[in-house]
C-alpha cells in the first residue's frame, strides 16, 4: 500500500482536497516534530478565511439532571454522588440578560437530558429571551423528537449543538448504554433540515479510538455539513465506568482542531473548556491551531461546580464578569481580537 507523507498530506489539505483517510491520518498521527507546522498552517488558513476575531458565547449550564447514562460523563444518571440542580426559567432568562450585559452576542443553553424541560417549557424560555434580549440562541440539550426541534426553531432558536461523540459503531455502543448511533445521526439530519446552524463534534482519546477512526469522524462531519465543530479531550471522571481509562491529550486534540480547520476553513471551532482544563494554556493553544470561538461560563457560581461532566473543570469558582475579563485578556495576549455581534455561521456561496 502506498503511504502519504506528512508533507504530501499537508499539501493536499492546503489545496482543499476532499477529506480522505489516506491524508487525514498522516496529519492526525503526525510526529511531534511536525505538529508545529500543522498548527501554523491551520492558523494561516483560519486567518485567511475568517480573520482574527474570536467570538465569545456565554454558556448557561441550566440543569445537570440527565436521563441518560453515558459511560464517560459525570452527569450520568447512575452517578448518585452528583448533587443535582435545575435553574428556573426566570433564572435562565436572568442569566441571559447578564450575558448580554457582558457583551456576549450568543448564549448557549446547555443541560443534561432533563425531561422537566418539556418542549413547551423550553419554547417559552426561548420566546422570552428573544423578546427581552437581542442575543442569538444556541441549544445544547440532547436528543429530542423532530416536533420539539421544530417548535424551538419556530420559537426563535438559531443554532443547535449535538456532538456525535464518535462515529465508530463499536465505540459508540460501548459508551452509550441507552443510545443509538443511527438515531443520533438522524437527530442531526433533522436539525439541519429545520434550518438550525448546526454544530457537532467528538471527543478525542476515547478508549479504542485510533487516528483512522478520528479521520472517519472528520469525513462524516464534512458529509453532514457541520458548521460548528466542538472537540475536546476525553477526561476520565472518577464516578463513571471509564474512570480507569487513559483519556485524551492536549496534543492529540490540537492535531484534530488543526485538521478540522483545514477541512472546514469557515467553520466555527471552539477552543473548548476541556482543553483549558487539561492545560492552563490549552484554550490559547487551540486558538493558535485553528480555533476561533471561546465559550465562557455564565452559569451562577452557586451551582457551577455541580456541572461536573469531567473533573478539574476550570472556572467553577469564578463569576461571569471575572471570566469575561479573563478570556478577553487571554485573547488579546495572543494577538487576537474579541469579535462583536451574534457571530452567525459563515455560509460560503
Residues at the site binding ligand 5AD, with contacts judged by CB under 6 A: 72-73, 163, 165, 203, 232, 234-235, 237, 274, 309-310
Residue 35 and residue 253 in contact, taking contact as beta carbons nearer than 8 Å: no
**DSSP bridge pairs for 58:** 107
**Nearest position to ligand 5AD, beta carbon:** 310
Cβ within 8 Å of residue 5, ≥6 positions away: 26
CB neighbour burial string for 300-328, b if at least 16 within 10 angstroms, e if fewer: beebbebbbbbeebbbbebebeebbeebb
Report d(CA 80, CA 135) in Å as an integer: 36
Residue placing its CB nearer to ligand 5AD in the complex, 232 or 290: 232
Cell 473548556, residue?
273
327 lines the binding site for ligand FES (CB under 6 A): yes
Identify the residue among 20, 37, 49, 68 touching ligand SF4 (CB under 6 A). Answer: 68
Least separation, in Å, of the C-beta of 230 and ligand SF4?
13
Residue placing its CB nearer to ligand SF4 in the complex, 61 or 158: 61
- Interaction with ligand SF4 in 103-142: which residues (CB under 6 A)? 112-113, 142
22 lines the binding site for ligand FES (CB under 6 A): no
Phi first, then psi: give them for residue 315, nearest 5 degrees: 70, 10
Report the first-to-last Cα separation within the chain, whole angstroms.
38
Least separation, in Å, of the C-beta of 292 and ligand 5AD?
19
296 lines the binding site for ligand FES (CB under 6 A): yes
326 lines the binding site for ligand FES (CB under 6 A): yes
Report what 268 binds from ligand FES, ligand 5AD, ligand SF4, none; CB cut-off 5-8 Å by kind. Answer: none
Residue placing its CB nearer to ligand 5AD in the complex, 98 or 165: 165
Quick one: which segment of 75-83, 182-190, 221-229, 315-323 binds ligand FES (CB under 6 A)? 315-323
Report what 76 binds from ligand 5AD, ligand SF4, ligand FES, none; CB cut-off 5-8 Å by kind. Answer: ligand SF4
Cβ within 8 Å of residue 17, ≥6 positions away: 23
Q: What is the DSSP string of 285-299?
A: HHHTTT--EE--B-S
Amino acid at each position: 500500500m502506498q503511504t502519504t507523507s506528512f508533507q504530501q498530506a499537508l499539501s493536499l489539505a492546503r489545496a482543499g482536497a476532499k477529506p480522505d483517510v489516506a491524508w487525514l491520518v498522516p496529519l492526525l498521527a503526525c510526529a511531534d516534530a511536525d505538529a508545529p507546522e500543522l498548527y501554523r498552517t491551520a492558523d494561516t488558513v483560519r486567518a485567511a478565511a475568517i480573520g482574527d476575531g474570536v467570538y465569545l458565547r456565554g454558556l448557561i449550564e441550566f440543569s445537570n439532571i440527565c436521563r441518560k447514562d453515558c459511560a464517560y460523563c459525570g452527569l450520568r444518571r447512575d452517578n448518585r454522588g452528583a448533587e443535582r440542580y435545575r435553574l428556573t426559567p426566570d433564572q435562565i432568562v436572568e442569566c441571559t440578560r447578564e450575558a448580554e450585559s457582558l457583551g456576549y452576542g450568543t448564549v448557549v443553553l446547555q443541560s443534561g437530558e432533563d425531561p422537566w424541560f418539556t418542549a413547551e417549557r423550553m419554547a417559552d424560555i426561548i420566546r422570552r429571551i428573544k423578546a427581552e434580549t437581542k442575543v442569538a440562541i444556541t441549544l445544547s440539550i440532547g436528543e429530542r423528537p423532530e416536533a420539539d426541534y421544530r417548535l424551538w426553531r419556530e420559537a426563535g432558536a438559531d443554532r443547535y449543538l449535538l456532538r456525535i461523540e464518535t462515529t465508530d459503531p463499536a465505540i459508540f455502543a460501548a459508551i452509550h448504554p441507552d443510545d443509538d448511533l443511527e438515531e443520533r445521526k438522524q437527530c442531526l439530519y433533522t436539525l439541519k433540515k429545520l434550518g438550525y446552524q448546526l454544530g457537532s463534534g467528538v471527543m478525542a482519546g476515547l478508549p479504542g479510538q485510533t487516528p483512522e477512526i478520528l479521520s472517519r469522524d472528520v469525513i462524516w462531519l464534512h458529509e453532514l455539513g457541520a458548521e460548528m465543530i466542538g472537540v475536546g479531550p476525553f477526561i476520565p471522571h472518577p464516578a463513571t465506568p471509564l474512570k480507569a481509562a487513559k483519556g485524551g491529550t492536549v496534543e492529540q486534540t490540537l492535531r484534530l482542531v488543526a485538521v478540522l480547520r483545514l477541512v472546514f476553513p469557515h467553520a466555527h471551532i471552539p477552543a473548548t473548556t476541556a482543553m483549558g482544563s487539561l492545560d492552563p494554556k490549552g484554550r490559547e493553544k487551540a486558538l493558535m491551531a485553528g480555533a476561533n470561538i471561546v465559550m465562557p461560563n455564565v452559569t451562577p457560581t452557586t451551582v457551577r461546580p455541580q456541572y461536573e461532566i469531567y473533573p478539574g473543570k476550570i472556572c467553577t469558582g469564578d463569576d461571569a464578569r471575572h471570566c469575561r475579563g479573563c478570556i478577553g485578556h487571554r485573547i488579546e495576549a495572543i494577538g487576537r481580537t474579541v469579535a462583536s455581534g451574534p457571530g452567525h455561521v459563515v455560509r460560503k456561496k
